[in-house]
A = this chain, B = another copy of it.
């Protein structure tokens, strides 16, 4: 199967490939693996030698850590068009995945050999800068996460999460469609599902939101921001 044109097209949405020369990109597409994942299927486990990195084509993948007694903390939920595990390439020759990766929904990922990609990087600076940009974004994201875990409470984190889910451009009473089960969101926010449910209930009672299953209507964006002392606007 030769999907090269549209595959290359899709890849260009990722920082990593955005600026890459056409021949280089083509070479990568030739060498990549197209992997199909059922919901709940693991892609890799923490501690495994990291030989590949990934581009999410369709579906939803969670990156997470497990505590000794099985509790799960989701570090990041990957969405289509994003790459992950690229940074591990530079952890030295014996690099290992620092997290687990598992499909939430049925998913399709493209896998690239790190060795191949590294060779390509050595002779192409545009690609390297794309990689630097994506790592720098991820660093910032993690710092934000640490801040909200330590300096803010559970309600803040949930509200911030909801506000992030509002599609750009929307001015009117925004509708948010939760893309994952609530338990997954809870783990991402480092709270228990019970607590998530209670906070949602509290916000609902306050008339700030309406909850219909996975569909949430935000009745008053500004009031919502105010409850957690977020500055107006975005």
Residues of A within 8 A of B (CB): 65-68, 71, 73, 75, 87-92, 98-99, 121-122, 125, 128-129, 131-133, 135-140, 142-147, 149-152, 190, 229
Contacts and interface: CB of A to CB of B under 8 A. Distances in A.
Contacts of A132: 89-90, 128, 131-132, 135
> How many copies of this protein are present in the complex?
2
29 contacts: A65-B143, A65-B147, A65-B151, A66-B151, A67-B152, A73-B147, A73-B150, A75-B143, A75-B146, A87-B135, A87-B136, A87-B140, A90-B133, A91-B133, A91-B136, A92-B133, A98-B143, A98-B144, A99-B143, A121-B125, A125-B125, A125-B128, A132-B132, A132-B135, A135-B135, A135-B136, A139-B142, A149-B149, A150-B190
Nearest to A139: B87
